Every structure is written in C-alpha cells, then in structure tokens.
Amino acid sequence: MLATLVLALSLALGLGSLARWLHLPPLFGYLVAGVAIGPHTPGFVGDAALTATLAEVGVALLLFGVGLHFRLQDLRAVWHIALPGAAAQVAVAALLGGLLGRAGLGLGPGAALIFGLALGIASTVVATRMLAEAGQIGGPAGRIALGWLVVQDLLAVLALVMVPAAARAETEGLATALLGAVLELLGFAVCVLLIGRRGLPALLARLARAPSGELFTLGVIVAALGTAYAASELFHVSFALGAFFAGMLLGESDLGHQAAAEAMPLQRIFAALFFVSVGMLLEPAALLAAPLLSLGALLVVLCGIGGATFLLLLLARVPPAMAATVAGALAQIAEFSFLLTSYAIGQGLLPPAANAPVLAAAFGGILLLPLTQRGFAWLGGRVEGSAAWRRRSVAHPAALLLRPEAAGLADHAIIVGFGRVGAVVTEALRHHGLDLVVIDADRLAAERAQARGLEVLWGDASRAEVLRAARPETARLVVLALPDAAAARRVLQLVRAANAAVQVAVRVHAESDLALLQAEDCVGLAVMGEREIALGISDFALRRLGIEAEAAQATIERLRAGLPAAP
C-alpha cells in the first residue's frame, strides 16, 4: 500500500511537472504516471484495487467541488445560448459516439448511449485553464464557455444516474429502468433538500465559530464523504453523486467559499490519484489492436464537441472569433469521461475494451489542443471574412454578453478584516453610500458584519477561492486591515494577480513590513498603527505648544515618510 501510494504520487508530481513544462495540463502527466505503474507495462506494478478505492474518494471530492461552485445565476447571462446549445452539442456527440460504440464494440442501446456521452462532455478543468491562458476567462467567450460547461456538468451528473439504469435496460427495458433511476434520484434529492438544506450548513456554521479551524476542515470532508456514503448505502445513488449534492447544499450558504478552499488541497491530491488509477487501466496492446476505434473516438471528440460547438454558436449568431475561442477550449474530454467509462465498466454495462478508445481520445484531444485552437481560430477568421456572414443581422444575442451583469460587483471596495480598524473604515465608506464587500476569517466577526446589513464573505482571503468571490478584478480599492503581516502579503499577491491597477491600503505592524509594502506599486497607503498614534500625539502637542498648523503638518509628513524632522 505504501509503495503504491508513494510511487503513484511521486510519479504524478514528476510527470505532472513535466507536462506543465511542455505546456500541457498536469492531468496528462498523471495519466502517464498511471500507465507507468499499471499492470500492462513492465516494471513496478501498483495495487490497482487500492488505487481505485482512493480514486473513488477523489471523484467524490471532485464532484463535491463542482457542487460548491454550481450556481444557477451562472447561466443567467448566457442561458439562451448555453442551455440549448450545450444540450444539442452533447446530443450530437452522444449520437456519433453511440454509433461508433455499436459499430466498433457491438454495444446495445443503453451501453452505446453511455459510451457516446463519455465522448461528448468536455473537461471543465482543461477548458478553464486554456481560456485563462488566452486571457478570455473573464470576457464574453469565457462567459459562454462557463455556461456551456455548467450545462455539461449537469448532463454528466444525470449520466451517472443513467449508468445503473442502462445496465438494467436489457431485462427491464430502457424507459422503465431510466424512470426507476430518476425516481430514486428524486427521492434522494427530496430527502437531502428537506433535511440537509438547513441542517448541514447549520452544523458547519457551529463548527466555524469554534477557535480551532481544523474542526471546520474536518467537518467539510465529513459532510462531503458522509453524505456520499449515506447516498450510496441508503438510496443506492452513486457515491460521487451524493458528494455533488452535499456540495450544492453548502454552495448555497455563505460557508461555500471557505468550504471550497478547505477541500481544495485534498481534492487535488485524490483527483491526481484518480487520474493515475485511470492511466493504470490503459492497455497499449488494446490501442494497437483497435487503432481505428481509437482514432474514431478522437474524431468524435473533435467533431462532436469542438465542431458541433462552433456550428451551434454560429447558428446562435455568436461572432465567429468568439465561437472559435469557445470551441477550441472545449474540444477535449477528461475527468467526467473517465468517470463515466470506469463506472459503466464496473457495472458491467461496458466491456473493458471500451476504456482504451476513451483514453486514446482524451490523450489525443489534450495533446492536440494547441493545434485545435489555432485551427478553429483560422476557421473563425474565414467565416467572419465571408460575404455570407457579413450579410447576417448584427443584432446577435452575444452582444448582450458585452455588458456586465447589473447584479455583479463592480467599482467597489473590498475590506479584508472586520476588526477594530476594518469596522471603522467600513462605517466611513458606508456613510457615503459606497459599494463594498467585507471578508473576514472570524465567523463571529462575519456574523456581526452581516447583522449590520453589510455584504460579507466568510473565509480566509489569502485563499484564492475566497478572494475570487469578492471579484477583485473589478474592484477600485482593497483595504487590508489584517493583524498578520504575512497573511496581508499573501492577499496582496492574489489581488495584484487579479487586478494590477487596483489601489490598496494596508495595515502593518513593523518597520520592515512598512518599507516592504510601500515599495509595491499597487499600495497607495501603508499604515503602521503605533507610528500613526505617535504622529497623532505629536501633531496635537505641536499645535498646543504654539506651532503653526502648516509647519506642524509639514513636520508630521516628514516623520511619516521616514525622514528626520527639519531643525
């Protein structure tokens, strides 16, 4: 067990770093690590059963994270494009993949549908990374892509329900089996929503008030895995789907951002083990035995996801360049495809031979992403320059995406820390009707701010998942009123990465920190409490001893700048 775990993580680290150096997603390195320690390659052979068990935890945490970030409002701005478009695209890919499964593997209707779905759902992780690297994640193309991915994630969750139903389709009929599975899911959802919607957040809120932060971390993991285990044991719902529901429940509360930050490290580690376990299933001989089937699976991904997305966005009158950006980022498959395939093989619905073409399509799609993006960009340019496109109406729905959402935060101030300093600053800004959001890691302080009617995010602002919710990229000012200088520097780094132009005011506690922060371009004001107290008393003393206000102020400013007072 120890040898498998240590070697799997070590190889995942090394090969994941190599993949990043080659400008590929780290998960590609994780898959290769699995191939290296798998039973189908020479050398050390890892414990496949142990790795698969740990991978199941990784899948549950992965879907828990998806549930935490799932918001219906993500679709608000692009629902008229993403909802019908993504559904149609997945249907096209599932049809093409299903036909390939029937022709190449001799699958029945239910199995062919699952195989097609595995080739029709893009990886959210890979797509968002490619959009971020292209600087499009916050623009209109990023909005469309994220909305598209949310719909795909929902369809993937429904596909998890369909797997056991499709496995029973041979004896019960597909319609009857699917109806039974959906009723089971609805029964589970009703119980979870009635019992867990208030109970689970209330329990974690009580843990959040405790001085010990590790209790909340432990509570988050127990909430994810405990709900998943109860779902599988009591309602015969998949372990991963139960974790997804737990994430949705917490995501609706103000605990969601910090819960995501706490779960993220474990999620990444176990997700890496999941990809390693999938790589262990890859049998190079199977790829060589059915090269046409593997090539066909790759073509289904490129055409059924990338090509269909591009054409459907053009039909929705999205500008070709924007459609090409979205299609180029989505033309790949990864985590949900592996999950669906592995789960279906475990249920006996798909033969083990189905794993090889899915893995080949995933490897090929990720490797070809740079070429795919350039290809779609070239195609988009040709379409945009064509006379047929220019004759189309310019009043297309995508124009709505260029306007920011009215409900979103913009031109606001972010106050990090609602203690003695932050509370005073907040009250001053609020007195003049300025938009602001408060972030505090102390649950009791956050609740006090909420009681005053302020918009509050509870959590550690030095965690990217928490700070991102305050939208620093659109903020005008950030006030770091934290007692910990190291934490303030970490938050400052995240703020600068999100918005280099934003102005920052920082509270510091030492001369060294003061000098260091004053050197930062975005820091407009760095204040040390003891020094300001001394300067305030000095100003009072000078004026009371008869020094003119202008001369006293000049002396104070020289001292504030660290210069000796003029004789």
What would the DSSP string read from start to end of 233-248? Answer: HHS---HHHHHHHHHH
**8 Å CB contact between 365 and 331:** yes
In this structure, CATH architecture of domain 2-180+268-384:
Up-down Bundle (1.20)
C-alpha closest to that of 251 among 206, 210, 196, 194: 196
pLDDT in tens, the chain (567 residues): 888 889 999 999 999 999 889 887 787 888 889 888 888 778 778 787 788 778 778 778 877 877 786 665 655 667 788 889 999 999 999 999 999 999 999 998 888 988 999 999 998 778 877 887 777 766 778 878 878 887 887 787 777 766 766 555 555 555 665 666 667 767 777 777 777 777 788 888 888 887 777 888 898 889 888 888 887 787 767 677 778 778 877 877 888 888 888 888 888 888 788 878 877 877 777 777 788 999 999 999 999 999 999 999 999 888 898 999 999 999 999 777 887 888 888 878 888 888 889 988 988 888 888 899 999 999 998 888 777 777 664 444 444 444 444 345 788 999 999 988 889 899 999 888 889 999 998 888 888 898 898 999 988 898 888 898 898 989 999 998 888 777 888 898 899 888 888 888 888 776 666 666 656 655 767 777 777 778 788 888 888 888 888 888 888 887 776 666 655
Q: Which CATH number fits domain 413-560: 3.30.40.10, 3.40.50.720, 3.30.420.250, 3.90.226.30?
A: 3.40.50.720
Question: The whole model's pTM is what?
Answer: 0.67
Q: Which two tokens stand for residue 25?
A: 């997603």
| Identical fold between 2-180+268-384 and 413-560 | no
Strand duo 413-416 + 503-508: pairing: unpaired
What's the rounded Cα separation, in Å, for the pair 361 and 196?
Answer: 39
Cα separation, 418 vs 86, whole angstroms: 42
Q: What are the structural domain ranges in the chain?
A: 2-180+268-384, 413-560
Q: What is the DSSP letter of 22?
A: T
